[in-house]
Amino acid sequence: MLREVLHNQEKGVGPDSDQPSNWLLFVTPVVDRTLLPPSSMQALRPHVVLRQRVLLAEDEAVTRRLLEAGLIRAGFDPVTVPDGQAAWDELQRTNAPQLVVLDWNMPGLDGPEVCRRLRALGKSTYTYMVLVTARNAKSDVVEGLSAGADDFVSKPVDPDELRARLRTGERIVQLEQTLQAKVAELRESADHVAELQGMIPICMHCKRIRNQEQLWEKVETYVERRSSARFSHALCADCLEKHYPDEGVHGHDHDDGHGG
């Protein structure tokens, strides 16, 4: 089966998104009948499948490869690193994965320490972190959650359990992205309202308004760009008489009522 992979993590090439490099774009032929028009079975066409990137930090090579294979089968795009320091370096990148699987015990930086550092970094986007550990004492759970982890997976790792927990994290990350977009829209609307309510410089002759970019705009252009108001142009009686004296209604106002 033909499979063309379009991916450029370094340059952030991907679908339209605030974080495009968190996705891997696969173009594959579609054989599912439900994805084809119901009228007929057309020739196979490319189908776009988006795979979200997952940072996987595991120091044991065999376990890392097994987890990586499971993530690929689950529909994710794993970015694997062999220790906590490499995971920390990856998370400091501008377009780092927003789903993270960390082994608790690793050389250099352990999983909880990576969680603590990332939360202290105060990134504008949320990162969902899952700790993989054989520990199950309540004190360990408290330590991991206090460090900033979102969830736990016990060793040996069950692939279905890990997939389910990452899908939960994926929904949370997407919800956070939606909320951020809504907040940005509200801020933009509030800025426009504040601008309309403040002191507005207007030319005393042509009545153009100076905007925040120090450019002069027509009144209607200025208002339309900053609100939902729209203008329909007409002529008041004074302007009609001044500019179109022969077309004005005042010619009819002087009718003496005697008729012809």
pLDDT in tens, 122-165: 888 899 999 999 888 889 989 999 999 999 999 999 999 999 99
The CA distances from residue 105 to 102, 133, 232, 248, 250, in Å, are 9, 8, 69, 88, 91
List the beta bridge partners of residue 108: none
Asked if residue 61 has pLDDT above 90, the reply is yes
The dotted CATH code for 52-180 is 3.40.50.2300
- DSSP-derived 3-state class of residue 103: strand
CB 195 within 8 A of CB 226: yes
- DSSP-derived 3-state class of residue 99: strand
Q: Please name the amino acid found at residue 79.
A: V
Q: What are the start and end residues of each CATH 3.40.50.2300 domain in the chain?
A: 52-180
Per cent of the chain over pLDDT 90 is 42
Rounded to 5 degrees, what angle do the CA atoms 20, 24, 28 make?
130
> What is the predicted pLDDT for the residue at 220?
80
pLDDT in tens, 74-125: 999 999 999 999 999 999 998 899 999 999 999 889 999 999 999 999 888 8
CB 165 within 8 A of CB 150: no
Helices (H), 34-158: 61-73, 84-91, 111-121, 138-147
The CA distances from residue 26 to 35, 56, 94, 214, 254, in Å, are 16, 20, 23, 46, 78
Asked if residue 187 has pLDDT above 80, the reply is no
Asked if residue 260 has pLDDT above 60, the reply is no
Rounded to 5 degrees, what angle do the CA atoms 19, 21, 27 make?
120
Q: 127 or 33: which carries more pLDDT confidence?
A: 127
* 192-204 average pLDDT score: 67
